[in-house]
Structure 1
Amino acid sequence: MKRKFILPLFLLIQIIVVKTIGLFPDFVENWYSNGFYPKLALVSKTGLGWLPFSFGDVIYFILILLLFGWIWKHRIGFFKEWKNNGLAILSWVSVFYFFFHLLWGMNYYRIPLHEKLNIEKEYSIQELKDFTERMLVKTNELQLQITKNDSVAVMIPYSHDKIYDLALKGYENIPSDLQEFRYEIKSIKSSLFSYPLSYMGFGGYLNPFTNEAQVNYLKPKYTSPLTTCHEMAHQTGIGSESECNFIGFVTAAKNEDLYFQYSAYSFALRYSLHNLEIIQEGSSKAYIKKINKGVLKNFEENDIFWNQYQTPINTFFEYFYDNFLKANQQKDGMEGYNKFIGLAIGYEKL
C-alpha cells in the first residue's frame, strides 16, 4: 500500500473505534476519564502551567502559518491534483483526530453528570420561575453589597492573572459530591487569540492538545470569573458545555470572593431569563423590572461588546461549533449551554 493512503485509512479506522468505544460510557468513565486522562492532564498542566503565555496558542499560530504556506505552495493546479491534495489534507486530519481524542476528546463520551448525581434535568415552568427569582434576589444583593449603589455597574478591580489565581479558591470549596472535579494545578492563560475569539463569539476555550484553559481577556471583566471556572471544568475532564456551565457556576458561587459570586449569579440570571423567553415570549419582563439598574448596566455592557463583533464570521463559527458538538455526543449542540439551568435546578433538590 502506498504511504499516502495509510493515514487517511487510519482516520476511517479511528472514527469506527472512537464511535464504538463511545457506546460504552462506563468504560470511558472508568478507564479514560477517571483513569488515563487525569494522569495525562497532570503532566500537561505541570509542564506548561507555569508559562506566562499560552504555549498552545503559539503552536496554533505556527500551524496556521504552515497551513497558509502549504496552500500558497499548491495554489497552482490545486484542483488538478485534487487526489494527492485531498489525501494530504486527510492525513493531517487523521493526525489531529488521533491526538485530540487521546489527549482530551474521549471525555465527550463519559457518563452524563445528571446520571451520576441521579438528578432530573427537566423542570417545570414554575420551578424555572422560582429559580429565576432566587438568582435575581442574590444578584441584586451582591451588586448592592459591592457597589453600595443599586444603579452602579460592577467593575472588577483585579487583573486577569489575579482572577485566575482566585478561581482556584472556588474549586477548593467544591461540594463533596462533586469532588471528582477538584482542581489542583493551575494552567489558565489569557488567549493570544482574544481578538479572533471575539469575532468567533467565544469567551474562552480549552486547548485539548496542551490542556491550557484560555480566556478571552477583551470581553467584559465581570464575566471573566465564571468563564475561567467554566474552562477549568473542561480541564477536569468534562466535555459537555452544559456541565461545564454548571460546574463553573457552582465553583464561582462557592468562591469567597464577592466578584466571583456576582459573576456566577448574574450569569445564571441571564440564562434563566433567556430560558423563560424560550418557553413563553415576554415572560421575563416581570423579572427584568425588578433587576437593579447596575446589574442591567452590566448586561448592557456585555451585549454591546458582543454586538460589535457580530459578523458572518461569528455566524459561521457558531454553525461549525454547533455541528462539532453534535458530532461529539452533544446532541443539543450550542443549545447545550442553556441546559445547565436544568442541572442547577435539579441539584438544588438533592
Structure 2
Amino acid sequence: MKRKFILPLSLILQIIVVKTIGLFPDFVETWYSKGFYPKLTHAFRTAWGGLPFSFGDVLYFIVIGFLIRWIWKHRVGFFTEWKNNGWAILSWISVFYFFFHLLWGMNYYRVPLHEKLQLNKDYSVEQLRIFTEKMLVKTNELQLQITKKDAVAVVIPYSDAEIYNLAVKGYQKLPRDLNEFHYKNQSIKNSLFSLPLSYMGFGGYFNPFTHEAQVNNLKPKYTSPLTTCHEIAHQTGIGSESECNFIGFVTASKHDDLYFQYSGYSFALRYGITNLEALKEGSSKPFLKKINRGVLKNFEESELFWTQHNTPINTFFEWFYDKFLKVNQQKEGMEGYSKFVGLVIGYEKM
C-alpha cells in the first residue's frame, strides 16, 4: 500500500474504534476521564499555564499559515489533481481526529453528569417559572447590593487576570458532590483570536491540544466570570456544553465574590426567560417587567455587542459547531447550552 493511503484509510479504523469505545461510557469514565486524562491535563496545564500568552492560539496561527501556504501552492490545477489533493486533506483530518480524541475528545463519551448525580433533568413549565422567578429575585438583589441603585448597570472592576484567579478560587469551594471537578494548575488566557471569536459568536473556547481555557476579552466584562468558569469545566474533562454551563453556574453562584454571583445568576435568568419564551411566545413578559433597569442595561449591553458582530460568519460557525456537537454525542447541538436549566432545577431538588 502506498504511504499516501495509510493515514486516510486509518481514519476509518479510528472512527470505528472511537465509536465502539463510546458505547461503554463506564469504561471511558474509569480509564480515560478519571484515569489517563487527569494526568495528561495536569502535565499540559503545568507546561503552558505559566506562559503570558496563549500557546494554543500561536499553534493555530502556525497551522493556518501552513494551510494558506498549501492552498496557494496548489492553487493551479487544484481540481485536476483532485485525487492527490483529496488524499492529502484526508491525511490531515486523520491526524486531527487522532490527537483530538487522544488528548481530550473521548470525554464526550463519559457517563453523563445527570446519571452520576442521579438528577432528573426534565422539568415542568411551572418548575421553569419558579426557577426563573428565583433567578430574577437573586439577580435583582445582587445588582442592587453592588450598585446601590436599581437603574445602574453592574461594572466589574477587576482585570482579566484577577477574574481568572478568582474563578480558580471558586472551583476550590465546589460542593462535595462535585469534588471531582476541583481545579488546579491554572491555564486561562485571553484569546489572541478574541476579535474573530466575536464575529463567530463565541465568548470563549477550550483548546483540546494545549488544554488552555481561552476567553474572549472583548465581550461585556460582566459575563466573563461565568464564561471563565464554563471554560474551566471543559479543562476538568467535561465535554457536554450543558454540563459546563451547569458547573460554571454552580461555581459562580456559590462564589464568595458578588460580581461572580451576579454573572452566574444573570446568566441563568436569561436562559430561564429564553426557555419560557421558547415554550410559549409572550410568557416571559411578566418576568421582564420585574427586572431591575440596571440588569436590563447589562442585558442590552450584551445584546448590542453580539448584534454589532453578527454577520454571515456567525451564522456559519453556529451551524458548523451545531453539527460538530451532534457528531460528538451531543444530540441537542447548540440547543444543549440551554439544557443546563434542567440540571440546575434537578440539582436544587436534591
TM-score clears 0.5: yes
Match of 1:327 in 2: 327
How far did 1:254 drift? 1.4
In structure 2, distance between residues paired with 1:8 and 1:252: 44
In structure 2, distance between residues paired with 1:162 and 1:308: 27
**TM-score of the two chains, using structure 2 as the length reference:** 1.00
Deviations 1:237-272 (A, max 9, x none): 000000000000000111111000000000000000
In structure 1, distance between residues paired with 2:131 and 2:75: 56
Match of 1:252 in 2: 252
Q: Which amino acid aligns with 1:133?
A: E
Match of 1:195 in 2: 195
CA contact (8 A) 1:169 1:256 kept: no
Match of 2:305 in 1: 305
In structure 2, distance between residues paired with 1:113 and 1:280: 29
Match of 2:69 in 1: 69
> What SS is found at the alignment partner of 1:239?
coil
Q: Which amino acid aligns with 2:343?
A: L
Deviations 1:204-227 (A, max 9, x none): 000000000000000000000000
Matched, 1:235 2:235: yes
How far did 1:336 drift? 0.1
How far did 1:156 drift? 0.3
Aligned length: 350
How far did 1:83 drift? 0.5
Q: Which amino acid aligns with 1:144?
A: L
Match of 1:155 in 2: 155
In structure 1, distance between residues paired with 2:23 and 2:199: 36
Matched, 1:57 2:52: no
Deviations 1:22-67 (A, max 9, x none): 0100000000000000000000000000011000000000100100
Match of 2:218 in 1: 218
How far did 1:192 drift? 0.1
> What SS is found at the alignment partner of 2:135?
helix
Match of 2:10 in 1: 10
Q: Which amino acid aligns with 1:93?
A: I
Match of 2:284 in 1: 284
In structure 2, distance between residues paired with 1:203 and 1:84: 38
In structure 2, distance between residues paired with 1:17 and 1:83: 26
Q: Which amino acid aligns with 1:189?
A: K
Match of 1:33 in 2: 33
How far did 1:184 drift? 1.0
Match of 2:133 in 1: 133
Q: Which amino acid aligns with 2:192?
A: L
In structure 1, distance between residues paired with 2:80 and 2:177: 59
Which 4+ runs in 1 deviate beyond 2 A?
none
How far did 1:169 drift? 1.4
In structure 2, distance between residues paired with 1:195 and 1:12: 36
In structure 1, distance between residues paired with 2:190 and 2:256: 23
Matched, 1:170 2:187: no
How far did 1:133 drift? 0.6
How far did 1:173 drift? 1.0
> What SS is found at the alignment partner of 2:121?
coil
Match of 2:91 in 1: 91
Match of 1:343 in 2: 343
How far did 1:72 drift? 0.2
In structure 1, distance between residues paired with 2:288 and 2:138: 14
How far did 1:150 drift? 0.3
CA contact (8 A) 1:170 1:253 kept: no
> What SS is found at the alignment partner of 2:214?
strand
How far did 1:172 drift? 1.1
Q: Which amino acid aligns with 1:157?
A: P
Match of 1:268 in 2: 268
In structure 2, distance between residues paired with 1:44 and 1:255: 27
Deviations 1:79-110 (A, max 9, x none): 00000000000001111100000000000000
How far did 1:177 drift? 0.3
In structure 2, distance between residues paired with 1:53 and 1:199: 21
> What SS is found at the alignment partner of 1:189?
strand
